[in-house]
Amino acid sequence: MLTKEQLDDHWEKIYLNHISIDCVVFGFHEGQLKVLMLKSNNEEAWYLPGGFVLKEEPIEEAANRILKERTGIDEVFLRQFHVFGDPDRSKFHNEIYKDNSFFNQRFISIGYYALVDFVDVTPMPDAFSELCTWRDLDDLPAFQLDHEHIFRTALDTLRLQLNYQPIGYSLMPQQFTMPELQKLYETILDKKLDRRNFQRRILGFGILNKLEETRKGGAHKAPYLYSFNLENYRAALKEGLQGGW
């Protein structure tokens, strides 16, 4: 068993001071939106997956490493969205951290968000947690520290980006129906959209290919299948859905 001083020394030696990374990992599957959260050992304290930056590690690699440690997956859509830098944001309350000087310094946290199909993920707790799990957005526990603010900022960013960036490539199957794609938007926005307006607007962006096949089976008229037009999709990621000037 390491002494407190040895433990402090361990963190100090490996990681940069003052800098942390927090990840808001949104999980979507068939009309459900969840967020990945950890529960502390022996207490009802929930927080977002996060970690620190190794002395010689690029920050993007740190974010990917942290995400992989918690989810088992890499090459995920993972993006910086905001830096959280209030001086009093990082007062740890967890008993484990309380007497550790590394954890008791001020941390400026770089927020990343990711969007994954939660069926692909096997959540894994870290050393301070007994549980790493998907929580429904309409059944969230109380968050530790400023993690609710970080989560809300990520959700606001994701919703705003729906207005000018394409979404869904990593979340939808290769072929999908218009109602399935609409469901993704409705789930993220947490509201119903008008079917005809949605179809008109999304088709107007030119990011979909209408396929020859229809979805077989079911009592109703077979719905058309679509796939993403990747060339246009990537251009829209770069220039915005309405194109450039």
Binding-site ranges for a copy of itself (CB under 8 A): 16-19, 53, 55-60, 62, 80, 82-83, 85-87, 106, 108, 110, 160, 162-164, 185, 189, 193, 198, 201, 238-245
Nearest distance from residue 159's CB to a copy of itself, in Å?
Answer: 8
The residue among 121 and 172 lying less far from a copy of itself, judged by its C-beta, is: 172
- 243 class by beta-carbon count within 10 Å (0-12 exposed, 13-18 middle, 19+ buried): exposed
Nearest distance from residue 26's CB to a copy of itself, in Å?
Answer: 17
The residue among 216 and 238 lying less far from a copy of itself, judged by its C-beta, is: 238
What lies within 8 Å, CB to CB, of 159 at 6+ separation is 188, 189
Q: CA-CA distances (angstroms) from residue 136 to 29, 39, 80? A: 11, 15, 23
The residue among 173 and 243 lying less far from a copy of itself, judged by its C-beta, is: 243
The residue among 20 and 129 lying less far from a copy of itself, judged by its C-beta, is: 20
The residue among 177 and 182 lying less far from a copy of itself, judged by its C-beta, is: 182
Give the SS3 label for residue 221.
coil
Q: CA-CA distances (angstroms) from residue 79 to 14, 63, 176? A: 24, 9, 25
The residue among 18 and 68 lying less far from a copy of itself, judged by its C-beta, is: 18
Please answer whether residues 23 and 114 qualify as being in contact, where contact means their C-beta atoms are separated by less than 8 angstroms: yes
Positions of E strands within 161-207: 176-177
CA distance 40 to 163: 36
- 28 class by beta-carbon count within 10 Å (0-12 exposed, 13-18 middle, 19+ buried): buried
Nearest distance from residue 195's CB to a copy of itself, in Å?
Answer: 12
Nearest distance from residue 22's CB to a copy of itself, in Å?
Answer: 13
CA distance 96 to 78: 29
Nearest distance from residue 122's CB to a copy of itself, in Å?
Answer: 28
In SS3 terms, 104-115 reads as CCCCEEEEEEEE
Nearest distance from residue 58's CB to a copy of itself, in Å?
Answer: 5
Residue with tokens 């059944």: 139
The residue among 38 and 62 lying less far from a copy of itself, judged by its C-beta, is: 62
Nearest distance from residue 166's CB to a copy of itself, in Å?
Answer: 13
